[in-house]
Amino acid sequence: MGGTGTSDTIAVRVWRGERHGGFQSFAVPRLANQTVLDVLRFIQRRLDPGLAFRHACRVGVCGSCAVRVNGIARWACRTHLDRVVRDDALELAPLDHLPAVRDLVCDLAPFFDQWTAAGGYFVPRPDADGFAAIAPESPARRAVEAGIECIGCGICYSECDTVGDRPEYLGPAALNRAWTLQNDTRDGARAARLHAVSGDAGCHACHSRFACSERCPKGLSPAASIAALKRQGVAALLGGTR
Amino acid sequence: MASQSRDQLWEPRLWLLQRVTAVALALWVGVHLITILAVGGAGLSAEQILGRTRHSAVVALFYGSFVLLAAIHGALGVRVLIAEWTPWRGTRRDGAAVLVAVLLVALGGRALWAVVT
Ligand code: FES
């Protein structure tokens, strides 16, 4: 599917420079089972050692390799060219909505700052005593399961129009993490976290456009987590527990 | 977990209000459309229609609440757009949204006044 499969090279346009830069073209040999990360490594090793991009695990675990491939944010290491090459051409650009550092590298500090602002970290209950026994089949644990596999790649943040419109918006990944913690029965900061995600640029700023859920490489649904946070907020409001 | 208490108290309330008015508007718009179709099908003239709406408590109540619902729902939607499209925040943004609500009530109220009096 996708590529013509007839040509033995592909024309790869790669973003060079910082915020003000331009695309540079490279001719890269087409190989079987080639990924976007393979293309980037080929360019760096053979054509231009100065090309900057991030990667570490190469197997979809660390979340460091996300770039925009033909305009859509994807994980480079697990994106096969067969799925994305059109007419033997490929365009690679840094993630959207994040400050550019160089070439395909952006500064993820704003992304992770939002995790902190959303209370996206575990706070042990004051009465925590030894190991907690969590039944794997319990509804709360299952709710955690739905969102826990986030690798922090920033793809949802790049794809979210609301993040683009309002940089102060907490964003899908941070809110998704907050929701997993709201279901963590060991956590002792759930009221404070619900408060933290209910601000002006919190979960209520989400338009439920589901771009995050559509693009998450791990198949998570941050949009569903955000909707659940909104419901929890209303429940707290009506229950008078705020 | 920073706190901006005013926002945290208001955002969930405004969001709920937006949702509740949306559900109500779906019903109101339904009734409104059915009424239009029924009136059109009956072939009533403008004079005959006005004859029925004048001094009608049902029309006044139904369309009065319609105007209020639309004003609240519309203003809340505009309030969200202001945050996305302009640098206005806080009082300036809320003030602009209230202004939209007042404008919608005025426009809708004038139209309603014309058919019930
Ligand atoms: S290199 Fe680790 S997720 Fe792609």
Q: Half-sphere exposure of B71 toward its Cβ, with a 13 Å CA cutoff?
A: 19
Does residue A75 line the site of ligand 1, with CB under 6 A? Answer: yes
Query: Is residue A58 in contact with ligand 1, taking CB distance under 6 Å?
Result: yes
Give the closest of B12, B84, B89 to A198, CB-based.
B12
Contacts of A150 (CB under 8 A, 6+ apart): A173, A176, A177, A218, A220
The CA angle B82-B84-B87, to the nearest 5 degrees, is 70
Element (H, E) at A66: strand A66-69
Closest CA to A163 of A199, A196, A194, A201: A201
Which chain B residue is nearest to residue A206, measuring alpha carbons? B80
What is the per-residue pLDDT for A6? 54
Find, in chain A, the residue whose alpha carbon is nearest to that of B89: A200
Size of interface A-B (CB pairs under 8 A): 55
Task: Tell me the HSE value of B50 on the side-chain side, using a 13 A CA sphere.
Answer: 8
Give the model confidence (pLDDT) of B77-113 as tens digits. Answer: 999 999 999 999 989 999 999 999 999 999 999 999 9
Domains annotated for chain B, with CATH where assigned, are 2-116 (1.20.1300.10)
Residue-averaged pLDDT of chain A: 93
Q: Give A21's DSSP letter.
A: E
Say if A237 is an interface residue toward chain B (CB within 8 Å).
yes
Tell me which residues of chain B, numbers 6 to 65, contact chain A at a CB-CB cutoff of 8 Å: 7-9, 11-16
Contact B15 A230 (CB under 8 A): yes
pLDDT tens-place string over residues A220-239? 999 999 999 999 999 998 88
Q: Which single residue is written with the structure tokens 């070439």? A: A103
Cα–ligand 1 centroid distance for B106 (angstroms): 57
pLDDT tens readout for residues A182-217: 999 999 999 999 999 999 899 999 999 999 999 999
- What tokens were used for A3? 């590529």
ipTM computed for the complex: 0.81
Q: pLDDT tens digits, residue range A83-100? A: 999 889 999 999 999 999
Q: How confident is the model at residue A4 (pLDDT cuts 50, 70, 90)?
A: very low
Q: Which residue has the tokens 């365009």?
A: A91
pTM of the model: 0.89
